[in-house]
Amino acid sequence: MPDQMIQTSDSAPVATSPAEAPMRSLKVLLAGPRGFCAGVDRAIRVVEEAIRRYGAPVYVRHEIVHNRTVVEELEAQGAIFVEELDEVPADAHVVFSAHGVPKTVPAEAERRNLLYLDATCPLVSKVHREAERHFADGGPESRHILMIGHAGHPEVVGTMGQLPAGAVTLINDAEEARTVQPADPARLAFITQTTLSVDDTAEIVEILRRRFPLIEGPKREDICYATTNRQEAVKAIAPGCDLVIVIGSPNSSNSQRLREVAERSGAPRALLVPRLSNLDWSVLEGVNTLGITAGASAPEALVQEMVTALAKHFSLEIEERTVKEENVTFRLPAPLG
């Protein structure tokens, strides 16, 4: 698709008096797609709809998505965020986050008669079902599972928690793929976290397939469409940029990966910036072309906030580069759907 030129009213050079020096020019390349994915959009709608139907407060176990701005906006509507269910009072409504939860969490909610709504992204739930299929109830068809992902990330905790302890071994990186020693190399399967680096994961999968030719797994990996598209989009802009800013939270896995992918794809520097108020303006010194993208949990309003502020300091030329159109939406879970 040809590049689309956008010159917003915000980006128009601000008039200066004859005495003032003209503003320095700055080209901004906006990566597309960027920002909210269908799973994040659905998780936020689950909380909003729960508050609308049942009234505030509605409890949310863990940050619904990894973005402080989203969390604060939902808090203002009546959501209360907790880390564990024992912080939720009896008879309250509680929502589980988009990252998914171990099976012990809904079991505990049922034991305590809590009214729970599961906002787990359907693409994460799909990986849960894959894991269960490979485990096959621990029977004669059961395969030991290697999960490619990052230790401690809630999605990894949730996916490993679909099966009994010991059924899944976590593979954090290529080195662990090279050295893992499964008990039965002929009965293995792999699954992956949905928000990994596409390139790193392809390398790890290749190592596993080479070492264990009988390993079963998805055709490529479980990385979701949104993670893949956002990495492709940042790869498309990075080589032409002096700096890439990824708008996203430090605990957002897909935002962190976007920053890494930008640097590996040719940007001399890439920074993760939660929002405009966290921007150190000195990083823009000497920057002529700035790339901007946003992680899957970062609202587009934060991108626009950044662009609007830039337009007050620079004469902007804004170019949007979209590598793929997205039209994925997910229905709300029962009983909200």
Closest CA to 290 of 234, 334, 335, 213: 234
Q: Rounded to whole angstroms, what are the CA distances from 36 to 40, 107, 214, 282?
A: 6, 30, 37, 28
Selected binder of ligand SF4 within 121, 131, 156, 189 (CB under 6 A): 121
In the region spanning residues 56 to 115, those forming contacts with ligand SF4, defined by CB under 6 A, are 98
Q: Which of 130, 155, 203, 232 is catalytic?
A: 155
Segment lying near ligand SF4 (by CB under 6 A), choices 36-44, 54-62, 199-207, 236-244: 36-44
Please state, in angstroms and rounded to a whole number, the distance separating the CA atoms of residues 173 and 260.
Answer: 15
Closest CA to 206 of 148, 266, 141: 148
Selected binder of ligand SF4 within 30, 46, 92, 123 (CB under 6 A): 123
Q: Could you say whether residue 254 binds ligand SF4 (CB under 6 A)?
A: yes
- Cα 337 vs. chain centroid, distance in angstroms? 23
- Of 254 and 256, the one with the shorter C-beta distance to ligand SF4 is 254
Applying CB under 6 A, the site for ligand SF4 has a residue count of 15
Nearest to ligand SF4 by Cβ — which residue? 39
Q: What residue numbers does the annotated binding site cover? A: 37, 66, 99, 121, 153, 194, 224, 252-254, 297
Q: Could you say whether residue 40 binds ligand SF4 (CB under 6 A)?
A: yes
> Are the beta carbons of 216 and 236 closer than 8 angstroms?
no
Q: Return the half-sphere exposure (C-beta side, CA atoms, 13 A cut-off) of residue 129.
A: 7
Shortest distance in whole angstroms from residue 141 CB to ligand SF4? 27
Helices and strands in the chain: count of H runs, count of E runs: 10, 13
Is 83 marked active-site? Answer: no
Q: Could you say whether residue 205 binds ligand SF4 (CB under 6 A)?
A: no
**What is the three-class DSSP state of 144?**
strand
Residues taking part in catalysis: 155
Which positions touch ligand SF4 (CB under 6 A)?
A: 37-40, 98, 121, 123-124, 194-195, 224, 226-227, 254, 296
